[in-house]
Amino acid sequence: MFSRHYEKVIIGCCFLSIFVNVGLASTAFSVHQPYIVAIPGVGDTGGSLVLSARTLTSLLIMLVVDRYYRLLDVRRGVFVAALCTAAGFTAYSFAFNLPSFLAGAVLLGLGYGLGGMVSVTYLVNRWFSNGIGTVVGFVSMGSGLASIIMPLVVVRVIEAFSLSVAFRVEALVALALGVLVFALLRNRPSDMGLKPYEGKPGKTRTRKATQVGTVSKGEHAVLLVAMVCVGVFSCCGMTYMSVLATSSGFDTVFAATLVSIAGATLTGAKFVCGELFDHLGAPRASAVMFALAMVGFTLCCFAGLGNPVIMVCGALFVGMGLSLGTVGISVWSLDLSNPATREREVKNFQVAYASGGFIANTLPGIVKDLVGTYVVSYAAMVAVTAVAAIIVLRFYRKYVKNV
């Protein structure tokens, strides 16, 4: 009886894997940023370099992630990723200067790149024959849950003990959850004598996307540019929210609360976004979420006013729009590819997304040192989000038919 419903276990494993390798390593990590940039010899530019080292590592490793999973398959692959994440936090706990923080960032980048949405997209595509948007939306909530829980926990551990102790706690969490996922995860339904889950009668979702035209290499490159843009605003949106707040005069507790608010909203928005993709189709759902992100980034541009209500509203809308960084990327990569190239396209979309993350994590600290504020970077996010929306919606209108 238990094995017949093993798709639920797979959902749980995917959820926990994203909690560890995306949530701990990236989404919730921004709460550490004010403490890291305050370390002598690190500063704002050094803080950006730490984030950039993580995203550059994840970007480079994603270039071969399809081969990595062909070699290890998903079960062993995500376990190794969790070990890298745990090792990264352990390295951070002993870090005392910029080079030592960069070493920890490289390990976290390995965990993120190997154990992120690529592995989850593979698993969901294997284990589910429909309703994929909803499933992806739910499992990607793992990173949102991390951004709700971890900022408040981390700040309190830091204030009560130290930054090093907080990093060690996160290392233990990553290791424990990694072992649990390894014990329960199975690569394919056939490993359990099952077939891909089709859903309950009367509740199946039949939305499918089929290409109705030939996509040129140039058009495909433009589409990948949109994925880069999504990576830019998704990574910058929460990563720099706490330091945007503190540099605008808010205290660290309020800054951590903003990250938690955005994370809580992001958690629910991912599930809602998945439902919208399945029921409304990708074009309409994408348009809604792009619009919400633009509103959020616009509100963040008014951080200098010192109005906490504006910042809370900005965090809410940013959290909603950032669901495209997980749900949108995964669904687009499945919608806009054919079975023969699907695994490669999933990787390509994630590589483009990671490239955007690298850009986002590199520039804001440098811009802050040059112009004295993070607001300029958030203003740029409004424009970047608009560019991504135009490209994605145009592509669906021209090349894809939802049936």
Mean pLDDT of the chain: 86
Q: Which of 188-202, 231-245, 360-374 has the lowest mean pLDDT?
A: 188-202
pLDDT over 80 (residue 246): yes
Residue 99 has a CB neighbour count (10 Å cut-off) of 10
Q: What is the pLDDT of residue 86?
A: 97
CA pair distance 282, 292, nearest whole angstrom: 15
Over residues 51-67, the mean pLDDT reads 87
Instruction: Supply 278's token pair.
Output: 């399945």
CA pair distance 116, 65, nearest whole angstrom: 10
| DSSP per residue, 9-47 | HHHHHHHHHHIIIIIITTGGGGGGHHHHHTSTTTHHHHH
pLDDT over 70 (residue 255): yes
Q: Say if CB 18 and CB 143 are below 8 A apart.
A: yes
Over residues 263-271, the mean pLDDT reads 84
Q: What is the pLDDT of residue 14?
A: 94
Q: What is the pLDDT of residues 36-55, one digit of tens each?
A: 888 888 888 888 788 888 87
Q: What is the pLDDT of residue 202?
A: 46
Over residues 132-154, the mean pLDDT reads 84
Q: What is the pLDDT of residue 200?
A: 58
Residue with tokens 């730490």: 50
Q: What is the pLDDT of residues 317-343, one digit of tens each?
A: 999 999 898 889 988 888 877 777 777
CA pair distance 294, 378, nearest whole angstrom: 10
CA pair distance 324, 330, nearest whole angstrom: 9
pLDDT over 70 (residue 1): no
Cα 117 to Cα 17, 66, 389: the distances in Å are 9, 12, 21
Q: What is the pLDDT of residue 213?
A: 62
Q: What is the pLDDT of residue 16?
A: 95
Q: What is the 3-state secondary structure (H, E, C) of 365-383?
A: HHHHHHHCCCHHHHHHHHH
Judged by DSSP in three states, 198 sits in coil
Q: What is the pLDDT of residue 403?
A: 41
Q: What is the pLDDT of residues 336-352, one digit of tens each?
A: 777 777 778 888 998 89
pLDDT confidence bin for 370, thresholds 50/70/90: confident
DSSP code at position 210: E
Over residues 115-130, the mean pLDDT reads 87
Q: What is the pLDDT of residue 167?
A: 94
Q: Which of 326, 316, 313, 311 lies closest to 374, judged by CA?
A: 311
Q: What is the pLDDT of residue 199?
A: 66
Q: What is the pLDDT of residue 308?
A: 93
Q: What is the pLDDT of residue 401?
A: 67
